Amino acid sequence: MGCRHYPFILVAVVATIAIVSPVLAQCPCVTQASGFAGGDGSPGDPYQVCLPAHLDNVRNHLSSHFIQTADLDMSGFGNFTPIGSEPSKFTGVYDGSSNEISGLAISFPSTDSVGLFGSADNTSILRNISLTAGAVSGSQNVGCLVGQLRGLLEGSSANCTVSGLGFVGTLVGTNNTGTILISKSEGQVNGENGVGGLAGQLLDSTLRNSFSTSTVTATVFVGASLAGYTNNSLVEYCYGAGSVSDTSGFGGGLIAFADGGPSTVTASFWDVNTTGFAVSAGGVGRTTTEMQMQSTFDPPWDFTSTWSIDEGNDYPRLQTPSLTCVFDCQCDDTLVCNGSETCNAGACLPGIDAATGLPCDLDGSPGVCNGSGSCVLAVGIPTVSEWGIAAMLLLTMTAGTLVIIRQRQWQTNPTSCERWRTRRRCSKLTSDLAAPLGRESYRPKYESRSP
């Protein structure tokens, strides 16, 4: 009867993997003395945001650099105070790394410049920020992401319910000399005056390669699917397709009202069926069927790297951008800025230690995780020494398992001992093992012989 004790080997392998597995784990989100998960707020080592409390702490470092390394659920946080205000604007850089911020609640009905960022100055950069299931209310200049924007906003989105009195948009309240690129808005926006699906007002600003499908309601004056007001601004390669309710007589399909200096609206469209408007202060109206045809937009729209379309079934959608990362992964639990990676979905691929040529890991080796990734903390790979320890443990456990298997073989089939040991040693071991089990009948006939 043969032995079947291979589970012992499986146990040894599993135990070894369990010992090594902590090295393969994602870097933990632990609040440091700075009030963030890491970093010092500089361009090369931005503060790391991975908890709601970290996001709340951004307001105390308005000129610093930040990178969001995980999704944030703000639903249990309570009423969030906007980051930055008109007297004290945000002037730093916040990179959301396309991680979500969900359940954000902001309610300051008597306050102007309300949003996740209340007021962002002309040196500010807000990129790759994704807001979902948010609810924001304020007075003037109200948006889910930014109340009043003077800097750069790119690669961002908002799916929120936003309400206010004047200059209210789902993404931005007022784009005041700022630039919005490759961004979108969904949800609902409600206000009295200057209400837009994406922005309430465009003032001396630029809006390019962006769209809105938000439902717009202007209760008093001026509502449109993309922007309520424009003043001396540039709108290029944009569209609006959300329903618009405006009984003032000054509503519009894409843009409701052009005020002050003339604005330039180029290759931009609205859906005359869904908006309910055949007129606009800029842009070209098209039917839903036409809005779902690439030929409506191309040329001059870029359907190679910026836009994509499911012909006949959907409107154009922004492609997931492949951006050069500002902050790259480093395997020793920090972030380093060298601008060499490409961002895509997923975690950073492990890199190679330039000094040793070995894979970098989480134990402090200086290798940089280069390759495609979302530029978050990297998953490390065990070093040679760590693999060596694991191998020694596996060999030790396997050797012990073989001894157990051999002993079991001797118990069940003593005559097989002749193939393993000298007769005297085999005979004694067989007798010692078999006797307690009442197996004396298995004692080999040569046991009593002299050597």
- The CA-based angle 287-289-295, given to 5 degrees, is 95
Q: pLDDT band for 366, please (50, 70, 90 cuts).
A: very low
- Cβ atoms of 238 and 209 closer than 8 Å: yes
Instruction: Give 118-165 pLDDT, tens digit per residue.
Output: 999 999 999 999 999 999 999 999 999 999 999 999 999 999 999 999
Answer whether 171's CB lies under 8 Å from 140's CB: no
Strands (E) located in 225-377? 227-231, 234-240, 244-246, 255-258, 264-266, 269-271, 284-286, 307-308, 317-318, 328-330, 335-336, 342-343, 368-369, 372-373
pLDDT tens-digit series, residues 340-360: 333 333 334 444 444 444 444
Helix (H, G, I), strand (E, B) or coil at 280: coil
Q: Please tell me which of 21-30, 112-121, 248-257, 415-424 the model is most confident about, judged by mean pLDDT.
A: 112-121
One-letter amino acid of 94: Y
Report the pLDDT value the prediction gives residue 393, as an integer from 0 to 100. 58
The dotted CATH code for 26-318 is 2.160.20
List the single range of 185-189, 215-219, 361-365 with lowest mean pLDDT. 361-365
Residue 301 has pLDDT above 90, yes or no: yes
Contacts 24+ apart (CB under 8 A), 283-288: 283/226, 283/235, 283/238, 283/239, 283/240, 283/253, 283/254, 283/255, 285/253, 285/254
d(CA 232, CA 239): 19
The pLDDT value given to residue 445: 43
**Strand, helix or coil at 351?**
coil
Residue of 20, 19, 51, 24 lying closest to 35 (CA atoms): 51
pLDDT tops 90 at residue 95 = yes
Mean residue pLDDT across the chain: 77
Query: pLDDT-derived band of residue 82, with 50, 70 and 90 as boundaries?
Result: very high
What does R_g of the chain's alpha carbons equal in angstroms?
33
DSSP one-letter code for 252: -
Contact 139, 114 (CB under 8 A): yes
Q: What is the pLDDT of residue 185?
A: 98
pLDDT at position 41 over 80: yes
Res 253 pLDDT > 80: yes
pTM beyond 0.95, yes or no: no
Domain boundaries along the sequence of the chain: 26-318, 414-451
* Residue 116 predicted with pLDDT over 80: yes
